[in-house]
Amino acid sequence: MNYPHPVFMSLVLFLACVALRQGAIRFASVRLGRKAMFPWRTHVLLGKIALAGMLLGLVSGFSTTWLVWTAPGTTGLHGKVALVIGALAVSGLATGVRLDREKKPGTRLGLLHAVGNTLAVLLAFCQLYTGIDLLRAVAW
């Protein structure tokens, strides 16, 4: 019963890492002057899927604690970090949609988008460890 969420979130984290890698290519091209081909459409698609997946993971995690354990918010740090990732995901989606419409290189919005999404992926890696601890305590 507890396994779909971690499997789904692992796949989402993988997609987020691919999108982040592509975003790093864009950052190096725009900010560092390196010549590179930026896969714009792929980055946008994977980014939307990954950020929407993070939001879906937030909802599924909290609904699992509510419906199965009847105690929402009992996951401690895992749940608190998930809320921060949720806010960053909403921000990443909003800034990403705007950047996709305008396509202007070197804007502050692009830098904000990059920092927020990088932080979301780093926090998602922290979620791996806190999630494994939860699985050990509850399921294993």
Average per-residue pLDDT in the chain? 91
pLDDT digits (tens, 9 = 90+) for 75-128: 889 999 999 999 999 999 999 999 999 988 888 999 999 999 999 999 999 999
Among candidates 16, 12, 18, which has minimal Cα distance to 131?
12
pLDDT grade for 140, boundaries at 50, 70 and 90: low
Q: Map residue 46 onto helix, strand or coil.
A: helix
Note the pTM of the prediction, 2 decimals: 0.91
Distance CA 136, CA 75 (A): 12
- Assign residue 73 a region (left: φ > 0; alpha: ψ between -120 and 50; beta: otherwise): left
User: What pLDDT, on the 0 to 100 scale, is given for residue 136?
Assistant: 86
